[in-house]
Amino acid sequence: MIKQLISDYVDQHLEEVVADTSRLIRIDSSNAPALPGKPFGEGAAKALEEALAIIESYGFKTTNYDNYVITADMNEEEKALDILAHLDVVPAGEGWTVTEPFEPIVIDGKLFGRGSIDDKGPAMAALLAMRAVRDLKLPITKNVRLILGANEECGSEDIAYYFKKEPFAPMTFSPDADFPLINIEKGSLGGRFTGKYLENRAIPMLKAFHGGHTSNVVPNKAYAVVCGMPVDELAKAEARAKELGVQISFEGEEEVTIRVEGVSAHASLPEKGNNAVTALIDVLSQMTFADGGAMALIRELGKIFPHGDTCGEAAGVKMSDELSGALTMTLDILDVENGSLRGVFDSRAPICATEENLYLVMKNRLEAANLYFDADVKMNPPHYADGNSEFVRTLLACYETYSGKKGEAKAIGGGTYVHHIENGVAFGCEVEGIDNHLHGADEFIGLDVLAMSAKIFALSIAELCK
């Protein structure tokens, strides 16, 4: 009975959700420099203002927390559930073909535009769910609060600000990831480190090394500049690169630039890539150089991050647990030149990871090689919500009701909007098997997924707050 009532209501009001989402998509709400009263820039503040107007037109009580977040309350009762979404977006980017990034359009049952799936469409689906529960007069005795932030893509300072003023709800879900449900998010150790070396002009010598550009991406390109390297050593390098499965090229004669190209991947799944930085370290380590200089430090680094080791075994931090899986580790950035080395590695840590068995081990391992963490490096702990709790079981049952698929809680290597929220889980709206072009050109959300999500959220509210 309730299932059909909710389904009919959502289907009857779906066009309104598409229109509301489109109003938000038209605003470029990518983060920009702060302005007075607008901590995340003009666009983010404008998106919050527009969302307030939409929410208030449906009769909900709203609050603006200084343009960090806005909220909408279902009623005046004790708060039981927070639904956490965000209105900021990643920059437009290039390569759009269906429409311009901030000109929403519906084609073949899909709403295209920047923010359609991440996270303006899901936010409006949650608002429709609240409308359905209220308008259908479904019997609930607790309050639901919709929280819409404006800084999820660039650090989540919005939510940190909000929770300094307000307590956590007993239950929180965020429609900013995947269905069925994510209850475990690995921790992380973003290790920025430096080292110094005495430049050695004796040849053959390594003059420079540069590879990678982003701290959470397996690098697909790296290059080194070597001086006075015999031809037979370059042939040795070429043979080693072939063994490692990377492309290699050479430019120059007396001063040779060696370029290596591997395969990029997300740092949470490093085994899917072929790391150009560690491959080039390996290639160089097979070659003969004069003693000392940059290569002495590079060789030590190669012992900590050998090519193909994506689980931290050589570093002494290999670990795993049944719930969250194995630790992953990848060396993402390395710049060496003029007596200075600077590197960044990315580690996704399972629940069993601690300061003692991860941070301190890596710190000591690097220091033994005369490499040192930056002062502000610290471990971001894992996030875990009980996958057998009544809260999670209820959400999964509601998912099963409208999706027709088996609901199960899962762990991921990345982090979501609820990473630091007690009992928080990520719940929708991406569906397995559908590439929504998240953060890419031609981002979209299917209208069927938009409707299904709203139905799932409405039933979840009704069940959790009755």
Range with the poorest average pLDDT among 149-153, 254-258, 301-305, 412-416: 412-416
88 is catalytic: yes
Nearest one of 141, 146, 137 to 169, comparing CA atoms: 146
Task: State the average pLDDT over residues 108-121.
Answer: 97
What would the pLDDT profile of 126-147 be if each residue is shown by its tens digit?
999 999 999 999 999 999 999 9
User: H helices within 136-213, ranges in order?
Assistant: 157-165
Q: According to the model, what pLDDT value does residue 217 have?
A: 85
Q: Which of 152, 153, 158, 185 is catalytic?
A: 152
- Asked if residues 258 and 250 have their Cβ atoms less than 8 Å apart, the reply is yes
End-to-end CA distance of the chain: 16
Predicted TM-score (pTM) of this structure: 0.81
Q: Please indicate whether residue 356 is annotated as part of the active site.
A: no
Q: What are phi and psi of 152, to 5 degrees?
A: -65, -35
Q: Tell me: pLDDT of 414 over 80.
A: no
Peptide bond preceding 135 in cis form (omega within 30 of 0):
no
219-270 pLDDT per residue, tens: 999 999 999 999 999 999 999 999 999 999 999 988 999 999 999 988 888 9
Of 139, 162, 142, nearest to 150 by C-alpha is: 162
Phi-psi region of 134 (alpha: psi -120 to 50; beta: other; left: phi over 0): alpha
Residue 393 pLDDT exceeds 80: yes
Nearest to 43 by CA among 54, 32, 55: 32
Would you say residue 347 has pLDDT above 80? yes
**Which member of 88, 282, 309, 332 is catalytic?**
88
